[in-house]
Chains A and B, each alone.
Chain A
Amino acid sequence: MENKENRRAPVSQKPLVIEKPKDPSYIGGTISIEINEKKVTVPLGTTILEACKMNGISVPTLCHHEDLCVAGVCRVCVVEVEGMRTLQASCAYPITAPIKIKTSTPTVRKARRNIIDLMLSEHYGECYSCFRNGKCELQNLAKEYGVDNYNFGHVEAPRYEVDESSYSVIRDMSKCVLCKRCVRTCIDLQEVGVLEAVERGHNTRISTFLDKPLLDVICINCGQCINRCPTGALRANDPSDEIWAAIDDPKKHVVIQTAPSPRAAICEEFGMEAGHSLTKELNTALHRIGFDKVFDTNTTADLTIFEEGTELVLRLYKALVQKEPVALPQFTSCSPGWVKFLEHYYPEYIDNLSTAKSPQQMFGALIKTFYAEKAGIKPEDIVSVAVMPCSAKKFECNRPEMNDSGYKDVDYGLTTRELARMIKEAGINLPEMPKGDFDSPFGEASGAGLIFGATGGVMEAAIRSIYEFVTGNKTEDAFANANILPLRGFDGIKYVELPLGEKFGPVPDVIKHLVPNWDWLKGVTLKVAIAHGTANAKKIMDDIKAGGKFSECHFIEFMACPGGCLGGGGQPIPTTPEIRMKRAQAIYAEDESLEMRKSHDNPNVVRLYEEFLTDGPCGHISHKLLHTHYIKRGRYIA
């Protein structure tokens, strides 16, 4: 599971310092307690909430979230502990003594009802007009705990203006119940820290630095706060109305690219268990909704491997052979949340970012150039939509640099959640759709592009190709079934060394003009690292700054979101470690089911270099369309 050791909890909500023994079987490792008059044994330090869960007793929660440190502020989870004058928040109470717990007494039930009633009294908005209708934790609590009346009234007018400034995250604080999950997500999980409680008492609210609109603070748009908000107080900036308008406009040619992670998660929006890919069903649905073409973002993920891989080779060549100063390690640049994080927090390292655009933006530039020309459609008539697991992609496609086709390369970034709503609105039950294919000329793509969706996936895709390019051997010879397992899994930070050996193959044609041979890589051990979640990224960056082992890496994959894209801020709500694990399994299973597993085997990409990007990876054409530059934003804002 994800590594929690480096978490910097907000000090007001310090995680409990009692360590749970690794092996509860040693003497004193467990403790006998009573829950509802039943004797049970739990590991020392278990919270009352966990102990109840282990024993099949349900306790309602709201501010508690599996990914986050303890808050203990909503008080919905209170229980009775014998001998204590007050009720105890079960999420925040570590068991270190043989206590007796009661989870459903008159006092407890009354307290829960009163607390839920109080939250409802301050929660503005009507459920039927809310995007979280049916998926709102407050609504569910009210239903479950028999609150059928606004016992303490209900607000009639919004208390706060909606902050719609951000391309990615919209904040409607009138719906906020002050559970502080967003604060803990931002400060603790992501270590970005743009949200905090301000004022006190009845005026307490969650705000930003100096109450500035979200666009003007150093928010990285990762949207992890949205994924953990129990109500509709946080949502993504939804472009679906504009997309419907484009679909309904006969003059517009509307194309959509679909990223790998939405396909592995959208099933959850249709009541299915997590972990089922609906790639082909989605193709059919998108065609039926009215998209003129459905393309596979994995195509440009494969293209990214060519561009970013070549860039890495060139950087290494410069460093090792030409002995020129060059920024290493190279950092991946496909996660726009991570890119903005670096621009704000480590602007001195922007030269380390690969100049290669993200797959979304590469695709955007190609659709309005290569594809427009091939299909004989004027680029201005094309509306280019990208369905992404991500809220930061909405910001990315609005970056002023992203107009290299001469037009806005990608018009709209759409999240998995928003797409699911469009599909439902069109009266389609996605899981029942017949299977369909992607459209040419960007139809088939490799499994390497697919696994971009999981943390470590970009690195694995890159290694699958680099290994073959350099050694001339098959990846399968070194890694069974081309599955590079050391790069997988949800450890917060992974570090892998890959000795390149002594025997090298010929330089492949596509980059022959850039490096003459591979002799200079003899004896080199490729050092790579992977981090997901910006808290982990920060750890690596601080190590690099201090000249630690990560500063000697050659290539590092960074993803802003925990779990990588599959845990993105545009993915279905809720998110838990278990759900993310299942999405990852779905992605890796789909990869393994494919014939084509490596980016350089993708015939569409090979043809692109033959027909369009004729001066090869990192050539002039590709530099114009597929590469970009970054901004040293810094932490201080005007």
Chain B
Amino acid sequence: MGSQATTESAWRGGVKPFKASYGKMMMWFFLLTDALTFSGFLGAYGFARFKYADTWPLAENVFTHFPGIHGDQPLLYVALMTFILIMSSVTMVLAVHHGKNMDTKKVAWWMGFTVLGGIIFLGSQAWEWMHFIHGTAEGALQLADGSIAKVIAAGTEVMGQTYNFDVLRLGTEKFITDPTTIATLSAGAEHVYGANMVVNEYGLPQFANFFFFITGFHGFHVFTGVLLNLIVFINVLFGTYERRGHYEMVEKVGLYWHFVDLVWVFVFTFFYLV
């Protein structure tokens, strides 16, 4: 009879395999599948990035803006975004910590900060997207074969020389300085500004597609995380978990939130650094 009772309660979620509750374990298995999904995306990105290594735009040449600072600031803005997300991961883990001590007031504070951190991150991402979509003031030429050429204004030093006419740059470092070739290439070329799903003034449109898809899918996770955190935050304020006798719900959304931070660590490396 004893073993039957155990089986029955197991199907009702009564026993804890791995000494982890049903909810926590299932959150982990969901996160595992989600990790595989993101690996697929980043793997596909790596495939395209190395397949078109010669003409692939480098993120450090694309995302160079920082609010309030003029000129090129590669990596600085995305470093700030990374810092915000790590910080909000810390506030989350502090909320979990105080939840274990049943300290409602401190859980509420740290959950509140976590929600705030998530909202700031989403705002930062919107700003980054806006700059990428709008592009630069001078834009670029999309040549007849679909490739992108940057127009370098006359008088700018190119490979140690200056020219009294506009020269073209293909890819990251191939310069076209011969006037006849420039004229041939420019014929039928179209001026493009910024990036979207069809054109990308920084180079291959696939780069823009991957950027929108991967950071967009991650941003969607952040957005979902903020909603979940907000629901838990409100429940903390209402004393729901105080009455329940434990703060496991904070732990479960905490796992999801840390996972969002974890994915960003990889997006940061493989999209912006490598």
**Chain B associates with chain A:** no
Residues of A at the B interface (CB closer than 8 Å) are none
